[in-house]
Structure 1
Amino acid sequence: MKRLLTYFKFNKTEQNGFFVILVIIIVFSIIYSLVSREDKSDPIAHQARVFEQSFHDSTDAADYPNKKFNVADVHLEKRGARSDPDPSTDNNVVDTKLFYFDPNNLSVEAWRELGLSDKQIAVIKNYEKKGGRFKDKNDVRKIYSINAKLYKKLEPYIAIKAETAGPSTATKAPLLYDKFETNHAELIDLNTCDTIALMSLKGIGTILSKRILKYKEVLGGFYRIEQLKEVYGVTPETYDLIKDYIMVSNLEGIKKININHIDANSLGKHPYLSPKDAKLIVNYRDQHGNYANIEDFTKIGTLSDLAIAKIAPYLIFENDSR
């Protein structure tokens, strides 16, 4: 036992060294425990605070509270916002409301409804301010503030109005009918006009103008402008367009039919009488003598009052001064 204890005996120098080492160990132990407590104290609460701060940072990136976020999208957007100052990445400022639109001179409010931020809209308005125009959809895609993803969303709703080609109304040559729109005094007389004058009216072309003149010859002349409706091809819409620019003034030029001398075949060629009506009129004349006036037509009994009224301006009777 004594022999064993001899191994644990220290001389004065060894004792001093042992105490120095012991003090150093104690000091380092205290320092290590303090550092460890500061870094690792309550690790669960620390992680909770980190997650909470990250969540609030993500939701603060949006200005409207009702939008639903995908966590991955939020972090991607935040990372993009830090690394890419391009305004094309700022697409989540307002609620998106898609509708058909013409990008030319579109209001700021409308652009916001489509999902664009103020920075993106400023780029577009600056483009318009410099005289830029969107002629087709590809012009929208060329705006640097609109990225491919945003353009793909907007592209189906872009509806650009076609611009009218040709010279402006201020410099174009006036149409022939313009003078009739501005000066109603220069009316066209249906009984004296030619095809060129008729073609100056809206809705009247080469064929229809010739058809009108042909009908005038068959009638013997017009005595009312409403007779123009009887011409094949003159629709109610066409008549409404030209009625204020035509007139009938030369009634003396109307060709008259001497009802007491004409035969049934010639009389039946008039548009207002059928061959059957013409034969009845001539037969009645042969049986009862010459007609004295238009009232004698009512004695025939087969002609309607309308037919008699229509044919009357084209008839002349014996002893009639017309």
Structure 2
Amino acid sequence: MVRKKYYTKIAILAMLLAVLSMYSKYAESTNEKFPELTFTTENSEEMPLSEFDPNELSADQWQKLGFSEKQTATILKYKEIVGGRFISKEQLKKCYSISEEKFSAIEAYILLPETNQEGKTFTSTDGNFVKKELRISGKFNPDRYSQADWEDMGFSEKQAGAILKYKNYLGGSFVSKEKFKECFIISDENYAKLEPYLILPAKTPDNFVKNKFKRDTIREKINYKTFDPNELDREGWQKLGFSEKQANVIVNYKERNLKGSFKNLEEIKSCFVINEDKFNEMKPFIRISNIKSSEAKKPESSATDFAKTDLNSITFKQLLEYGFDEKAAGSMIGFRKKLGGFVTKEQILETYNIDKELTQKLVNTAPLDVSKVQKYSLAEAPEEWLKSHPYFKYSADKIIYFRMSNPDDKKIWKFIKVKPEYEARMRLYVK
């Protein structure tokens, strides 16, 4: 009995010592600093895109498209599995590391046939898309090259546009050969050909700060001379420091809104893309011929009252009148048609190939009537509508399959399991 009590006391003492030891370690750990946590997210900045053949992309170029290192490795492995080259968009889309949202964003730029069947019958000199050879006449400053100059060199219209977008993305200048090389559509092969002819510093300046919203982060000083704004064409405005897109807006504004000519300084200042600083910089050199300042007329109002023009009814011609170029106007009208009409103004800002600042100004001015936009329940939506609508087409087959036995919207939503952000967009068109 005595021995039993002795062992009991020993056991209790051991337990107390263990508890004290654990407490001591805990107390010591509270004095330690927790490691700083950092969270990584995808780069939200919109990199310029242009047409590309996915069979030609290196791992680095896939990453420039926005894919992670792991996703890129999966894509390249998938390419080997399917025979060493992708034959269609349909095949590429099946790669599980390319999300539906990401594929939708790059689909229009992919240089591949739509379906596997078309890919199998596609022929060219080497079984791929025929590439143009670059024509380089001599040393050049890429900052001064226009859309036409890049196209003359051998780039496609979309590629040339993307190069200029990338320049604007950097702040209006390529800055250095290093930065020029980072342009997504400049392949390593083409850069090797262009590099000896580039009139740019080899290295990026230490004080360079990229600012995609301010064009003059690094800007050449303009040596102004007296000029008549009514005699300038697009190239003339570009020589004054405006981008090609800005030059197009100015010329369209003059031709369509002002019936072909600036009448006074105020009309120039009122142009959307000419900010106050730029106007004051140019003002001393502006000479408007044949019009005396005392006799200058007030700006003529646009033929269209955009404050009363429904964004779901606005025409291609009216968008040109407002200042959009043909490509942007066509994109907006085309996107609206695919959607069956806009339901929110935010959707308009999602349109590809548009000037977001000009578009923001338009949506702030014009009303949006959604009363005629067609909406359906998931159980009753026409198959053709589901398969063609930008927000539903990737889930169309699942919806059509499941609703045959479960024609209930709540159950269909649970079955298709789309991401919350996708569901929010889809519900805009569900009644």
- TM-score scaled by length of structure 1: 0.26
Q: Which has the higher helix share?
A: 1
Please identify the structure whose Cα radius of gyration is greater. 1
